[in-house]
Structure formats: structure tokens, C-alpha cells
């Protein structure tokens, strides 16, 4: 029986309807407005998010041409650190959501760092003190509305990430839940205890009474009630944050398995197994997923995470900033018109350098240009810069985990670029696998829901269902790659 996956992202919501053989029966995406109250602030209207989900659901179901009673389960995946507050009884949002991109609590994080809290927070959560995560956003909401704070303390309000809000809406308010992959992005959740930590709740001033119950990533949390376009009684049976859902959707089930999502930036996660690994290389430690409901011991999988701020955005810059190409799709042909970058190195540090360098002051840099440099060399250097950033992150992951990278599974828009994928394989020295279904975030939520509802019986069954579309095997001479890496390291040091 088909499964519905709700993939709620930063700019839009996608609904995927697929069957147990991974045939996509229906797919639809609905965008919603972004709110920018002032510089550095980013907000969403939770009602607009919900409306986008319902609209996408309506269109996907119409395309699928299946009966509503045929749906076996619903899975939810979401933008992870965005903070939402709503009335527990009515389900009505109390204010706009504060988005993961929002930087308004930078001073709060700086104060906590200067007070010496970062080492302990990192020890408990695997995260750094940064406005990116949810805790300081939640505290900001309560600090700026005393009535809201009082109702939160009493438990009349529900606080949570977008997954919790969606499940509450899907179940008619019956369930206020999240899963460990989302909880581990709040700065309030213990990586080892797998529970809300009293020490962190006190530090950030977030009342326990308003937080969701943390359940497994694949189990039945409740059933649909009063959802437009769906009958009551469909199980909601899977939850995961977007990047962890993509890791699961890529069937990265063994320690050392890794995936990279190429979007505006690049998000890399490596499965590190049943124990959290503290990073010495500037990466984040996070929960991948937890399987096994109720009191079952189940399975816990942790991951190391690193991200590059600029990936596809480098191609957009060539298009919009320099006018080198007219559309993003042109870059592969242009870059392929030359055999190499002609010694040109482009470090795409337009927004600083993320993991493992963590240099917010770094800026984009182009080196090695001569009178013979053409726009084709520049295009090729931009693609190579994307891959070389990922090399640095994955090298750090291997050093932290002590596990060699066996292969890399890829998804996201830029993964369609064969030249980029081949160069990524060359610099990493491992095979790159591009899946037949590139909507791996939505696929991961569907897999989890299917596990929770019994559509798939095991991860092994899911792994057999996962299919590759194309494999890229390293073919460049390693000596040439080492020279390229040396030029890259020198350019990064100057960025």
C-alpha cells in the first residue's frame, strides 16, 4: 500500500506518494512566503506552512489517482532548527516561527560562550553555541512576551520544531511529539541520555512542560483527524529532520556510509554507528535516527555532520553576478569545453568557510589566472571548488570517526552535473553513487513511516529497494589530484 511523505522545507513543502516498490505515484511542491522583519531576522507563518502542505497534498493525491483509504502511513521530514509555538488545545500558532537561518540571538550565544558554557553544551549535545539551533530562539520568544512565557510554564502552549507542529495538526492536536534526530538539533537534548536535559533546560530557560515527547523515528505517533483531503485514521509513523532523513533515504545504514546533498550549500552526513563521536575537527555530532518504539531497546544511529555554505550558490553567482552563463544548466557544457581549470582555483567562501575551517571572516578567492584564462576555466574551477570543500569535510569525518569512507551517495540539484560528480569521485578516491530517486529527503521519511507501519519489515529490505541511477568511479591519476589538493590548501589559507 502507498506511503505519503511530507517534506516540509525552508521555502516550500513537497508531498511524495510512492508504493512499496518505490514507484512515485504522485508528487507536488507548494512554495510559501518568507518573512524578513529586519536584517538578520527570518520568519515563517506556521499557517502558511500548513496551507502549503495541504495544497501539495491535494495535488500529489490527484496525480496519484489512488483512493484515500489505500494510504498505509504518513512520514514527516522537516527544516530542522526552526522554532514554532502554538496553543496546545486549538493548534493555533501564537506567533511567527523563527527560522533556522535567523541570527537574532547571536548576542545571547556570545554571552553564553563568554560565561564559559560552550564546552559543557558541546559535551552534552554535540553542537556548538550558535543562533542556528532552536533553544535560544525559543527563549527569545518567551522573553519578548510575558503572557506567552506564563502559558508555556503551565503547559498550555506547545513549543517545538516544524515536525512537532505538523504532527499536532495531522492528529487534531492529539500528539505532541518529536524524534531524536530533530531533538538533537535544539541544544536541549542529551546525545547519550536521549532525553531533554534538565541542566540545559535551566541554562536556556525553556520549560519542560511545553516540550514534545521524544519518540522513535519510526513508530505510530497517532492517526489523522480532521485533515482536509484525507480520511481519519491514517497512521503517522515516521519523523526525521531533513538531513538525517536523506541519510536514511540513501540507505546509509552501516558505519562509514555517507551522503552529500548538493543544494545552495552542501550538507554531508556520515553514519558513525551506535555511539556518538565527539568531533575534534569542527564537525557536529548528531542523532541520525532511532528505531524501536516504546520500551524496546531498538537501534540508535549517530552521525557526524558538516556543511559548506556555498555549493550551487557558486553556480548562481557565475550566472547572476558575473553573467558567465545564462542558466545554471549551461555550466557543465562550458566547464567540459576545457580539459582542466588551467591552474585556476576558486574558493567559494562568499559567506565565510564552514566546517572544518570555521572561518567566518574568509572571503571568496580566485587564484592562478593568466592571460590565457577563459570563462570556461572559471566555470570548471567553480565546480572543482564545490567538490574540494567536500573533500575537506569528509577528510575530517574520517579522521574523527576512524572509519574510512567506502563510498559517497549524492542527491540534490547539483548532483545531476556529471562533471562535478566525476571530479568529486576523483578527489575523494571513492565511488560516487547517484540514486534513481533523487528526492532522498522525502524518501527517507517514507522509509521510516513504512517501517513504523510495517510496509517494509527491515532496513535490509529497504536497502534492496534502493536503486542507483549512475556510478562515478575515480579515474584521475592520484599524483595529479595530490597537486590539485595542494593548490587548493594554499588558496584556502589565503581566503
- pLDDT band at 297, cuts 50/70/90? low
pLDDT (0 to 100) of residue 296: 54
The whole-angstrom separation of Cα 24 and Cα 28 is: 11
Query: Residue 284 in 3-state DSSP?
Result: strand
Distances (CA, A) of 186 to 54, 162, 409, 450: 27, 12, 27, 26
Strand locations in 108-191 (E): 157-161, 177-178
- pLDDT band at 345, cuts 50/70/90? very high
The whole-angstrom separation of Cα 183 and Cα 241 is: 9
Higher pLDDT, 438 or 409: 409
pLDDT digit string (tens) for 173-222?
A: 999 999 999 999 999 999 999 999 999 999 999 999 899 999 999 999 99
For cell 553564553, what's the residue? 112
CATH architecture entry for 3-244: 2-Layer Sandwich (3.30)
The whole-angstrom separation of Cα 310 and Cα 25 is: 33
CB contact set of 47 (below 8 Å; sequence gap of 6+):
93
Spatial contact of 357 and 318, defined as CB atoms under 8 Å apart: no
> Mean of the pLDDT values across residues 89-108?
89
Our measurement of the distance from residue 229's CA atom to the centroid of its chain's CA atoms, rounded to an integer in Å, reads 28
Neighbours of 264 (CB within 10 A): 17
- Percent of the chain at pLDDT > 90 equals 65
pLDDT digit string (tens) for 243-263?
A: 999 999 999 999 989 999 988
pLDDT (0 to 100) of residue 353: 82
- Length in residues, the chain: 495
Q: What is the mean pLDDT of the chain?
A: 91
- pLDDT band at 310, cuts 50/70/90? confident
pTM: 0.89
Kindly state the cell numbers that stand for 378: 572559471
pLDDT (0 to 100) of residue 222: 95
Angle (CA) 162 43 135, round 5°: 60
> Mean of the pLDDT values across residues 272-297?
85
For cell 535551566, what's the residue? 202
pLDDT (0 to 100) of residue 293: 64
- Category of 291 on φ-ψ map: left (φ > 0), alpha (ψ -120 to 50) or beta: beta
Higher pLDDT, 303 or 438: 303
Burial state string for 447-460 with b = 16 or more CB within 10 A and e = fewer than 16: bbbbbbbebbeebe
> Mean of the pLDDT values across residues 149-160?
88
Strand locations in 70-201 (E): 73-78, 83-87, 97-98, 157-161, 177-178
Spatial contact of 258 and 270, defined as CB atoms under 8 Å apart: yes
The whole-angstrom separation of Cα 162 and Cα 143 is: 21
The whole-angstrom separation of Cα 468 and Cα 250 is: 10
pLDDT (0 to 100) of residue 414: 87
- Look at residues 101, 109, 117 and name the one whose alpha carbon lies nearest to residue 136: 109
- Category of 119 on φ-ψ map: left (φ > 0), alpha (ψ -120 to 50) or beta: alpha
pLDDT (0 to 100) of residue 379: 93
pLDDT (0 to 100) of residue 225: 94
Q: How do 24-31 and 83-87 pair as beta strands? A: unpaired
Neighbours of 177 (CB within 10 A): 22
Neighbours of 272 (CB within 10 A): 25
The whole-angstrom separation of Cα 367 and Cα 390 is: 19
pLDDT at residue 275 is higher than 70: yes
Q: Is 24 exposed, middle or buried (0-12, 13-18, 19+ CB in 10 A)?
A: middle
Burial state string for 197-214 with b = 16 or more CB within 10 A and e = fewer than 16: beebeebbebbeebbbeb
> Mean of the pLDDT values across residues 467-475?
94
- Indicate the helix (H) or strand (E) that contains 268: strand 266-273
Sorted by where each begins, the domain ranges of the chain are 3-244
pLDDT digit string (tens) for 388-397?
A: 999 999 999 9
Amino acid at each position: 500500500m502507498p506511503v505519503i511523505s511530507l517534506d516540509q522545507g525552508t521555502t516550500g513543502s513537497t508531498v511524495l506518494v510512492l508504493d512499496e516498490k518505490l514507484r512515485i505515484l504522485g508528487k507536488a511542491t507548494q512554495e510559501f512566503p518568507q518573512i524578513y522583519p529586519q536584517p538578520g531576522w527570518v520568519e515563517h507563518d506556521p499557517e502558511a506552512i500548513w496551507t502549503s502542505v495541504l495544497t501539495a497534498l491535494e495535488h500529489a493525491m490527484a496525480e496519484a489517482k489512488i483512493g484515500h483509504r489505500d494510504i498505509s502511513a504518513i512520514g514527516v521530514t522537516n527544516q530542522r532548527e526552526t522554532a514554532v509555538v502554538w496553543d496546545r488545545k486549538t493548534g493555533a500558532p501564537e506567533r511567527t516561527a523563527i527560522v533556522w537561518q535567523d541570527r537574532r540571538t547571536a548576542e545571547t550565544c556570545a554571552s553564553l560562550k563568554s560565561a564559559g558554557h560552550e564546552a559543557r553544551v558541546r559535551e552534552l549535545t554535540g553542537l556548538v553555541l550558535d543562533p542556528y539551533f532552536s533553544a535560544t530562539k525559543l527563549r527569545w520568544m518567551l522573553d519578548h512576551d510575558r503572557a506567552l512565557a506564563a502559558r508555556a510554564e503551565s503547559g498550555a502552549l506547545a513549543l517545538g520544531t516544524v515536525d512537532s507542529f505538523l504532527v499536532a495538526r495531522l492528529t487534531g492536536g492529539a500528539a505532541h511529539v518529536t524524534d531524536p534526530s530533530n531533538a538533537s538539533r535544539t541544544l536541549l537534548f542529551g546525545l547519550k541520555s536521549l532525553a531533554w536535559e534538565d541542566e540545559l533546560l535551566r541554562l536556556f530557560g525553556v520549560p519542560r512542560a511545553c516540550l514534545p515527547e521524544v519518540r522513535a523515528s519510526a513508530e505510530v505517533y497517532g492517526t489523522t483527524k480532521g485533515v482536509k483531503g484525507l480520511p481519519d485514521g491514517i497512521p503517522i509513523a515516521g519523523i526525521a529532520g531533513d538531513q538525517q532523513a536523506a541519510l536514511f533515504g540513501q540507505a546509509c545504514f552501516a558505519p562509514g556510509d555517507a551522503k552529500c546533498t548538493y543544494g545552495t550549500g552542501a550538507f554531508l552526513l556520515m553514519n558513525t554507528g551506535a555511539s556518538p563521536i565527539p568531533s575534534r575537527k569542527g564537525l557536529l555530532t548528531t542523532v541520525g535516527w532511532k528505531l524501536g518504539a516504546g520500551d524496546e531497546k531498538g537501534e540508535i544511529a549517530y552521525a557526524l555532520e558538516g556543511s559548506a555554505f556555498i555549493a550551487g550558490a557558486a553556480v548562481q553567482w557565475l550566472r547572476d553576478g558575473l553573467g558567465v552563463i545564462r542558466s545554471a544548466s549551461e555550466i557543465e557544457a562550458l566547464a567540459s569545453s576545457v580539459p582542466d581549470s588551467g591552474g585556476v582555483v576558486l574558493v567559494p567562501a562568499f559567506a565565510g568557510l564552514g566546517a572544518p575551517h570555521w572561518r567566518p571572516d574568509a572571503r571568496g578567492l580566485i587564484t592562478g589566472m593568466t592571460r590565457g584564462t577563459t570563462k570556461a576555466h572559471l566555470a570548471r574551477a567553480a565546480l572543482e571548488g564545490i567538490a574540494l570543500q567536500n573533500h575537506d569535510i569528509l577528510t575530517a569525518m574520517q579522521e574523527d570517526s576512524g572509519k574510512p569512507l567506502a563510498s559517497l551517495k549524492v542527491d540534490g540539484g547539483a548532483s545531476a552535473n556529471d562533471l562535478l560528480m566525476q571530479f568529486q569521485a576523483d578527489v575523494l578516491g571513492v565511488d560516487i553513487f547517484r540514486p534513481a530517486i533523487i528526492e532522498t529527503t522525502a524518501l527517507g521519511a517514507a522509509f521510516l513511516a513504512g517501517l513504523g507501519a510495517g510496509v517494509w519489515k527491515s532496513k535490509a529490505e529497504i536497502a534492496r529497494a534502493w536503486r542507483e541511477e549512475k556510478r562515478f568511479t575515480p579515474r584521475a591519476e592520484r599524483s595529479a589530484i595530490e597537486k590539485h589538493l595542494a593548490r587548493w590548501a594554499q588558496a584556502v589559507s589565503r581566503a
